[in-house]
Amino acid sequence: MIEKTINYFKKEWFLTGMMSAVALAALIPSVGQSGGVLHLDQVTAVGIAIIFFLHGIGLSPQAIRAGITNWKLHIFVQSATFVAYPLLWLIFGNVLHALMPAALAFGFCYLFVLPSTISSSVAMTSAAKGNIPGAIFNASLSSVLGVLITPFLIQWFMGMDGVQMDIVDTVLSISSMLLLPMIVGQLLRPVLFKLLEKRKSIINKIDKWVILLIVFNAFSDSVKDGIWTDFAISTLAMTLLVTTIILLVVVHSMQWIARKAGFNREDEIAAVFCGTKKTLAAGVPMAKVIFGANPMLGMMLLPIMFYHQIQIFYCAILANRYAKACEQEQAASQPAKAR
């Protein structure tokens, strides 16, 4: 029993790390706060640049070119990410404000306007035997568009409630922090790709370690400013419930729409996984840029932190179902071919 528990925590080390970061922030906030002993505000800024530099090296130009012509899939995915999700805020924003603290409600607003993930969208599409080039193109396009669209939507939605920011400065800051390192990485891909491939097991963990540091920093700032003093456990439970409902409803709605739109199985898989995922890897750094050292940042990040874990868990189950259905179809078609 003890061995199984240890093995589980080793396998789910990122989830364990997230919970540990929050716990440490509650116990020793002075260590993780901005300007504190570790200067995590500066350390994480460098870490963010490294993450997107590595993403740039990892993007395959050939795979992106292979998926670029499928316009029907591209329109579906980007509309789901930047139209359907933001509509949820326009429809249910007032309800969320009535149910929970304003900072947490704005956290859902932020979740809805984030771009899709890259790595997990492609990984899930591959595991489900879907359209991998289409997934790579759309996940990458979503990340690039998100640099421009996410801050504009945040200003539009949150500006209604008196939250203001300089759009131009925000876009320039996000571009220099995220887009520029990605472009540099893409330019250096021919030189560095093979070298980094040999250390893939280490490289794949860097973004997660940086995210853990950012979470520690954000929650430490929140604790030091007393944001969590009146935050009930029931509110956390409600946040988990709402994020779960959102994911399940959107995933199965996208499946239904993709089938009605006449997508084949491979394109449906890419559409569902790229169109319903929201990025934690880019979402946390972007929040740091958009909201700065806002003491409410930790609370604002709760929805995307919950959503990330739920989407990985449920989409892995869904990918397995798609893969099994594909294998069954192939097995059923083999006797027919033999005849």
| Count of other CB atoms within 10 angstroms of residue 335 | 8
| Count of other CB atoms within 10 angstroms of residue 257 | 18
Place of tokens 């002075």: 30
Provide the phi-psi class of 264: left if phi over 0, else alpha when psi is between -120 and 50, else beta.
beta
pLDDT in tens, the chain (339 residues): 677 777 766 777 777 887 888 889 888 888 888 888 888 878 877 887 887 788 778 777 776 666 677 889 999 999 999 999 999 999 999 999 888 888 889 999 999 999 998 767 877 887 788 887 788 788 878 887 887 888 889 888 876 444 444 555 655 665 676 678 878 888 888 888 888 877 777 776 777 787 788 778 877 877 776 656 656 778 778 888 999 999 999 999 999 999 999 999 999 999 999 999 998 877 877 887 777 767 778 788 889 888 887 887 788 788 888 888 888 877 776 655 544
Cα end-to-end distance, the chain, whole Å: 51
Q: Which of 103, 122, 118, 114 is nearest to 147 (CA)?
A: 114
